[in-house]
Amino acid sequence: MARLDIEIETRKMLKPSAPTPDNLRTLKLSLFDQLARSAYVAVLFNYLPNSTSSYNHDELEKSLAETLTKFYPFAGRFGKDDPFSIDCNDEGVEYVQTKVNAHDLAKFLSKAAADNNNNNIESSLLHLLTIIDHQPSSPSSPLLGVQVNVFNNGGISIGIQISHIVADAFTLATFVNEWAHTNMPQDNDDDNNYLPSFGQLLSLFPARVIQLPSFDPNTLTSTCTTNVTKRFVFDALEIENLKKKTIKEDSTMMRQPTRLVVVMSLLWKVLAHISSDKNNGNSRDSFFGFVMCLRGRIPSLERVVGTFSIPEIANTEGGEYELNDFVKLIGNRIGETCAAIGKASKSVDDISSLTINNQIKILEKILQRDKIDIYGTTSWCKYPWYEADFGWGKPFWVSPVSVGIHELIILMDTNMEME
């Protein structure tokens, strides 16, 4: 697709509306932050024109500054002397407002998603993001970047990039919804007094000095200019049919797998088949990595912010496998990990050890990636992406965008109202 004609109207470092108190000026990272990938996570919130309410740039900027007083670490920088800390110094977030000289946002996105050349959504959606020109973990790098793109017909696309070390999908969704609520005109005094606690995980799971297998981080970050991002939509009815089919065809399954397990298994099966074709029909050992959110699995930590998940990996040893086999491999792995978390839930040391050991296992596999196949996925399902109403309606499409990470699958719910 042709590059969008985008005119930058505002570019600044936006600071919180009130200074961060002295007692909150330094935030130590938790173990989970420490183990998170050093990369930016990016997502686009796309809004159709609204005839009943209009976009107000000044109000949007003001509400973001107010939200940053609650999510104050996002306006800070990584510590210069302590790599396991954030200096909450209110230096600000990178904020860009643009005018897009294209009339119809929905038409543009539809064309991007249906590009007949290579179905490459990536080259189109990147235009709507502010590219933070820094190393993700550098002390000079902003932790958050926001770009507000306004199309000629009033459509709005808000692009957000945030360091994965300070925020996972839950935290990002929480932040965006809090910003939207702050920007929403209030008809009553029912204000949202949600105050995130950034020190809760630290107090239980402090960062540690860990001896991890060393590897070149560039193996997880692509510098190739020919990367392609594709979007696939799985029909809800077809997913349900797959769930029923797996248990019908395998009497050893005690219950139907979840929709997430079925979709991950299907993807693994297809990728393993592609690999076999590339190797003249010879199947290599393959490993399927995924992330399990720990919120809700440990009492009193349902809404903690930061990064709070444990990595997991399932594997095959060559040979031919059916969908049911992949379902059992992933399902059993999840079940075993849930059982281990349940046993360890009263001991933070056991949870920490389990997380570190799993991280080591995955890194060891990455070091062997020339001999084995490794696939990775993460789930953004069940988070309130489509609830982020800034006052001009809910988004009609929310899309993650890769900013350098390759060979990664992100699973999201579709907008149910659009189906």
0.85 surpassed by pTM: yes
Residues of the chain with pLDDT > 90, as a percent, come to: 53
The strand pairing partners of 295, in sequence order, are 298
Q: Report the CATH fold assignment for 219-379.
A: Chloramphenicol Acetyltransferase (3.30.559)
Across all residues in the chain, what is the average pLDDT?
85
Written as one string, the DSSP assignment of 35-81 is: HS-SSEEEEEEEE---SSS---HHHHHHHHHHHHHHSGGGGSEE-SS
**3-state DSSP call for residue 7?**
strand
Contact between residue 341 and residue 310 where contact means Cβ atoms under 8 Å apart: yes
Whole-angstrom Cα distance, residue 328 to residue 337? 14
Provide CATH 3.30.559.10 ranges for the chain. 6-210+388-404, 219-379
pLDDT at 318: 80
Query: How do residues 305-340 score in pLDDT, each as one tens digit?
Result: 999 999 999 999 888 899 999 999 999 999 999 888
Check whether 276 has a pLDDT greater than 90. no
Say which range, 42-51, 118-127, 355-364, 373-382, has the weakest mean pLDDT. Answer: 118-127
Which of 292, 290, 316 lies closest to 408, judged by CA?
Answer: 290
Which of 313, 309, 306, 312 lies closest to 293, judged by CA?
Answer: 309
- Confidence band of 187 (pLDDT split at 50, 70, 90): low
Average pLDDT for residues 9-22, to the nearest whole number? Answer: 96
Q: Which CATH superfamily is domain 6-210+388-404 in?
A: Chloramphenicol acetyltransferase-like domain (3.30.559.10)
Check whether 150 has a pLDDT greater than 50. yes
Contact between residue 328 and residue 250 where contact means Cβ atoms under 8 Å apart: yes
**3-state DSSP call for residue 147?**
strand
pLDDT at 316: 92
Query: How do residues 205-247 score in pLDDT, each as one tens digit?
Result: 998 888 887 655 555 554 445 566 778 899 999 999 999 888 8
Half-sphere exposure of 124 (CA within 13 A, CB side): 24
Residues of the chain with pLDDT > 70, as a percent, come to: 86
